[in-house]
Amino acid sequence: MPLPLLLAWYNEQKRDLPWRKTRNAYRIFISELMLQQTQVDRVVPKYQKWIAAIPDWKHLAISSTQKLINLWAGLGYNRRAVYAREAARDVMANGVPTTEEGWRTLKGVGPYMAAALTEFVNHQRAIVVDTNVRRVVGRAFSGKPFPLAKDDTQILRTLEHVTPRHGNHWDVPQAFMDLASSLCLPRIPLCDTCPLRRACKARHLFSPDRLAHTLARKKTVKTIEARHAEKKFPDRIYRGRILAWVRLHGKTRIEAVGPRIDGTYDPIADRMWLKSMAQRLATDGLLRLGTGDTLSLPKS
């Protein structure tokens, strides 16, 4: 069983992260929300600034959208900031969840985050699978060099089997995550220094004589995202740019934003595309769409 080797490595090499130094449910919740699809080194300063400005559930529940957007700037997927406020209002009304099912009822909390909060806040056993955990477990236990979400059924079974039912089982997902970030890298893992190197079923696939063949077999899986015409980026990138422009420059007309977010903007061909993105941001509660097609940050 390679798990003791992993945990021994983790106890010596674990990352020094601020949200690992607390059992405060609010602080761990904010960290997990920020860490969704955002790298740790970008999250740490944003997390610290957020906690200083909005220290608890009560302050978050009454924070304005403008304040949330300003604090969230740079993390992407800005709706998460508004979801956080909705979750805080739920917690203020019903208390901090004490079960995985309870965490799932909060806005913006999916299966991974609910399991993570159950482990890290409640210290109740839950099976936590994110991209990093998937990569390490898929390689070490199943011999898959580049495991995908479709492999999660097998990975969940493996984790159910190897995760201890007593003791500090909340360290297990953290250990997998730290190993993935430092050694079990997405493309070329550093197998020679990995604590699981003797037990890993995929290690031989990354040996010098097999590496080229393994990488050649890797299939690139592209996420299908909404994209207008021949634009360089998916719509979510341009929505983020619209929000950033209004946040920095204040109230402005939709048409004036077009050339600012896209160097190829055509006022005729792209007008309805631009307006639909602005309306989407307004529907999400991130912008206010006023008379004369003006955009501004919500005041509440």
Q: Please report the pLDDT score of residue 219 as a whole number.
A: 62
Among residues 213, 192, 203, 188, which one has the least CA distance to residue 144?
203
CATH class of 24-120: mainly alpha
Are the beta carbons of 131 and 140 closer than 8 angstroms? no
Are the beta carbons of 286 and 69 closer than 8 angstroms? yes
**In the chain, domain spans:** 24-120, 131-217, 235-296
- 126 pLDDT band, cuts 50/70/90, is very high
Q: How many CA atoms lie within 13 A of 76 on its CB side?
A: 11
Average pLDDT, the chain: 94
For domain 131-217, say whether CATH 1.10.1670.10 is its number.
yes
CB neighbours of 58 closer than 8 A, spacing ≥ 6? 88, 92
Quick check: is 101 catalytic? no
Q: What is the CA radius of gyration of the chain?
A: 22
Residue 1 has pLDDT above 70, yes or no: no
- 220 pLDDT band, cuts 50/70/90, is low
Residue 106 has pLDDT above 70, yes or no: yes
Q: Which residues of 275-297 are buried (b: 16+ CB within 10 A; e: fewer)?
A: eebbebbeeebbbbeeeeebbeb
Question: What are 185-211's pLDDT values in tens digits?
Answer: 999 999 999 999 999 999 999 999 999
Question: What are 46-103's pLDDT values in tens digits?
Answer: 999 999 999 999 999 999 999 999 999 999 889 999 999 999 999 999 999 999 999 9
CB atoms within 10 A of CB 206: 20
How far apart CA 211 and CA 144 sit, in angstroms, is 14
% pLDDT > 70, the chain: 98
Are the beta carbons of 243 and 281 closer than 8 angstroms? yes
Catalytic hit among 32, 101, 225, 230:
32
Residue 260 has pLDDT above 60, yes or no: yes
